Amino acid sequence: MKQENLQAILAKMTPKEKVDQLLQLSADFYTDDAEDRTGPMENLDITEQTIKNAGTILGVSGAQKTIDIQKEYIENNPHHIPTLFMADIIHGFRTIFPIPLALGCTWDIAAVNEMASISAVESAVSGLHLTFSPMLDLVRDPRWGRVLESTGEDPYLNSEYAKAMVQGYQGDDLIADTQKVAACVKHFAAYGGAIGGRDYNTVDVSETTLREKYLPSYQAAIDAGAKIVMTAFNTVEGVPATGNKKLFRQILRDEFKFTGPVISDWGAIYELVNHGVAPDEKEAARLAIEAGVDIEMMTTCYDKHLLTLIEEDSHYMELLDEAVLRILELKNDLGLFENPHRGANVEDEKRLILSDEHRESAQKIAEKSIVLLENKNALPVDKSTKVALIGPKAKTGDLMGAWSWQGKQDEVVTIAQGLLAKSNQVTVSTGDYDLFDNSPESIEDALMLAKANDVVVLALGEADWMSGEAASRSDIKLPASQIALYKAVKDVAKQVVVVIISGRPLDLTDIADADAILQAWFPGTEGGSAIANVLYGDVNPSGRLSMSFPHSVGQVPVYYNTENTGRPYELNPTEKYVSKYLDVSNYAKYPFGFGLSYSNVTYDALELSHQTLKADDTLEVTVTVTNHSERPVIETVQLYVRDLVGITSRPLKELKGFAQVELVGGETKSVTIALPISQLSYVHPDLTWGIEAGECHVMVGPNSRDLILTEAFFIE
């Protein structure tokens, strides 16, 4: 439909019809079998007619169901405007992929694109038009349960994933390709900075940090064409994001040139009252519409008060028209006026959802996301080795993690199933292990099996409800009963390999003496097969952490790209008055970028294409990598830069590029990574971006800690 036709519809709409377009209601209002609730339920006190006219719907899926609702909706609407179905498809629809933090550990941009693309297909054939993904909040605090939804702590890496996800969900043409869905960037902005890691808590970051660290990933997604942006629950500079004019009108619209609609998070307009920036719902509505929030999710401040605001001041009519037009444009960008059911198709649903091909992709990506944290020659396990599988995560389908709305536990390959399919030398403990308790009989069985077998695979970790939204923890260790189980087994077993299932980096110091630790995250539908392939060496692990693991919660936030202090510990480790803890290291236990494989890969011959460059030049960094093992390996060559002297104190290292290379046994490859010098630009105190002349160091290596090679270059 042409823009002028949208304008014509707008011109015919009554003010009340316009206000209704701004309201988003959940599945509960449209179906008897609403399957998921993603926020608190208020009594909205709205009429039947408002429900019928609310502009968009959250959390309904199913081809037939959405087709029926859409038909009725269009018939009822005086202008035959279609509705738009949105939902949280975060890491897969029914075929569940690893959680986003695990996807972050693949360092495989194409894999993340593929995950988004398959999620889009399954969503679209089920009648969905838009996913509330990607979540691009930079995360540094593993106490926050929502680190699970982020790709990690690095602005550069997060931005690469942001682009890949938007492209994977949306493709190039949302009208022609009805098996794509629109992508929603969230949560604007800086939700990941919640103080103390407590969900929904205040965020207090400087504007330089906000712009340099937190905003780039959102901006990358917007530049990649993401269709909609969601507000964050938190405050930014004291002003709740959902009523924050600077964030939305100035930064998002004027600076980032975003023209699509902004949606509030669930209830966030009403919550302006709880935040204490609005005395009542009417003022909350005023603040939000002034800030440029177009859609109100699951509260009714707009619905109840916008018309009064308009009566008092016609300026609000202009704001309302703007908002409605953006919503109509989004519907139009999806082709809904001409093709209101888009991809919804019962036959496709049967054929494509959870297809073998999708499962295969989920398995392959899960394999890439698993990070080997420790290995004292225990892995890989030979298929003829006698293995005992023990622990609370051994036989469960709880491997999908939060935001697996349509995923079904009985469709998940458990770790036990995965191992049994690989080897006939596996005994699965019959013990009944709970995450927080072990019966005496299960301990007995565990010890008996540990003694009788060569290797114990101990599957430990979190339940799905322990991470995700509203799932912050102050203690990020394994539950005490699991540590006790580990210690008991370790005492008697020949070798103990621990598989960790979790939605966050845990404090793993209690099990650090394990013979091997495999961080498997929540690996998704094919989790058990992927874990088995890695344990038995059919897959050489290649995952690298995208978020640091602390030694203890007291170090949090611990992240790799820190600035120097005036009293750096490294300059004088024996001095008292330096920046350090008395009782723990300054560094992560397992740092950003870290992950082992079954191969020994060495780095040599770092070469730079130039010694001196201008700000608009590109430096080429070349290094040679050699696989000294016989098995093929995927090596992630990481390039970090330090700008020695800046106007603000610069990080000691910042990831500025990487390359993933496959090396067959014994192979040596030369790898070149391009580094546009413009990438070293950073935010100055006056909030402009810039880079000055001076010396920089390039560092290359397998992770952010073990940077084996360093060379200097100069910007003139």
From 469, 515, 526, 654, residue interacting with ligand NOJ (rule: CB under 6 A):
469
Which residue of the chain is nearest ligand NOJ when measured via CB?
38
Q: Determine, following the binding rule CB under 6 A, whether residue 201 of this chain makes contact with ligand NOJ.
A: no
Range 177-196, binding ligand NOJ (CB under 6 A)? 186
- Least spacing, CB of residue 211 vs ligand NOJ, in Å: 23
- Least spacing, CB of residue 403 vs ligand NOJ, in Å: 8
C-beta of 295 vs 633, nearer to ligand NOJ? 295
For residues 226 and 135, is the Cβ–Cβ distance under 8 A? no
Q: Are strands 84-87 and 262-263 parallel, antiparallel or unpaired?
A: unpaired
Q: Determine, following the binding rule CB under 6 A, whether residue 171 of this chain makes contact with ligand NOJ.
A: no
Which secondary structure element, helix H or strand E, spans residue 481, and what is its range?
A: helix 480-492
- Least spacing, CB of residue 295 vs ligand NOJ, in Å: 11
C-beta of 226 vs 639, nearer to ligand NOJ? 226
- Least spacing, CB of residue 8 vs ligand NOJ, in Å: 32
- Least spacing, CB of residue 410 vs ligand NOJ, in Å: 24
Task: Look at the alpha carbons of 636, 639, 640, 646 in this order and tell me if their dihedral is positive or negative.
Answer: negative
DSSP secondary structure string for all residues of 88-154: --SS-SSSPPPPHHHHHTT--HHHHHHHHHHHHHHHHHTT--EE---B------TTSGGGGGS--S-
To the nearest 10°, report the CA torsion of 207, 212, 214, 215. 90
DSSP secondary structure string for all residues of 666-695: T-EEEEEEEEEGGGG-EE-TTS-EE--SEE
User: What is d(CA 93, CA 403) in angstroms, rounded to the nearest whole number?
Assistant: 9
Mark 208-247 with x for binding to ligand NOJ (rule: CB under 6 A) and - for no binding. ----------------------------------------
User: What is d(CA 345, CA 62) in angstroms, rounded to the nearest whole number?
Assistant: 9
C-beta of 17 vs 265, nearer to ligand NOJ? 265
C-beta of 186 vs 359, nearer to ligand NOJ? 186
First to last CA, the chain: 52
Q: Give which of 419, 611, 613, 414 is closest to 527, Cα–Cα.
A: 414
From 73, 85, 132, 560, residue interacting with ligand NOJ (rule: CB under 6 A):
132
C-beta of 136 vs 659, nearer to ligand NOJ? 136
Rg of the chain, C-alpha, whole Å: 26
The Cβ of residue 678 has, within 10 Å, a number of other Cβ atoms equal to: 12
From 212, 265, 348, 367, residue interacting with ligand NOJ (rule: CB under 6 A):
265
C-beta of 262 vs 426, nearer to ligand NOJ? 262
C-beta of 134 vs 646, nearer to ligand NOJ? 134
From 39, 171, 537, 568, residue interacting with ligand NOJ (rule: CB under 6 A):
39
How many residues of this chain bind ligand NOJ (CB under 6 A)?
8
- Least spacing, CB of residue 298 vs ligand NOJ, in Å: 8
Q: Determine, following the binding rule CB under 6 A, whether residue 88 of this chain makes contact with ligand NOJ.
A: yes
To the nearest 10°, report the CA torsion of 476, 479, 484, 486. -70
- Least spacing, CB of residue 184 vs ligand NOJ, in Å: 7
C-beta of 36 vs 68, nearer to ligand NOJ? 36
- Least spacing, CB of residue 132 vs ligand NOJ, in Å: 3
User: What is d(CA 268, CA 329) in angstroms, rounded to the nearest whole number?
Assistant: 23
- Least spacing, CB of residue 187 vs ligand NOJ, in Å: 6
- Choice among 137, 141, 199, 265 that is catalytic: 265
C-beta of 266 vs 658, nearer to ligand NOJ? 266
- Least spacing, CB of residue 356 vs ligand NOJ, in Å: 30
C-beta of 25 vs 366, nearer to ligand NOJ? 25
User: What is d(CA 261, CA 330) in angstroms, rounded to the nearest whole number?
Assistant: 7
Q: What's the per-residue H, E or C state across 297-348?
A: ECCCHHHHHHHHHHHHCCHHHHHHHHHHHHHHHHHHHCCCCCCCCCCCCHHH
Mark 355-394 with x for binding to ligand NOJ (rule: CB under 6 A) and - for no binding. ----------------------------------------
- Preceding amide of 676 cis, omega within 30: no
Q: Determine, following the binding rule CB under 6 A, whether residue 266 of this chain makes contact with ligand NOJ.
A: yes
Q: Are strands 262-263 and 56-58 parallel, antiparallel or unpaired?
A: unpaired
Distances (CA, A) of 663 to 594, 596, 633: 18, 15, 5
Distances (CA, A) of 407 to 37, 396, 526: 15, 14, 11
User: What is d(CA 518, CA 541) in angstroms, rounded to the nearest whole number?
Assistant: 9
The residue type of 101 is L
Specify the residue for token string 């988003």.
24
Beta bridge partners of 624: 604, 670
Burial of 555 (0-12, 13-18, 19+ CB in 10 A): middle
Active site residue 265: yes
Q: Determine, following the binding rule CB under 6 A, whether residue 38 of this chain makes contact with ligand NOJ.
A: yes
Q: Give which of 125, 199, 537 is closest to 354, Cα–Cα.
A: 125
Note the residues at the interface with ligand NOJ (CB under 6 A): 38-39, 88, 132, 186, 265-266, 469
> Which residues are known to be catalytic?
265
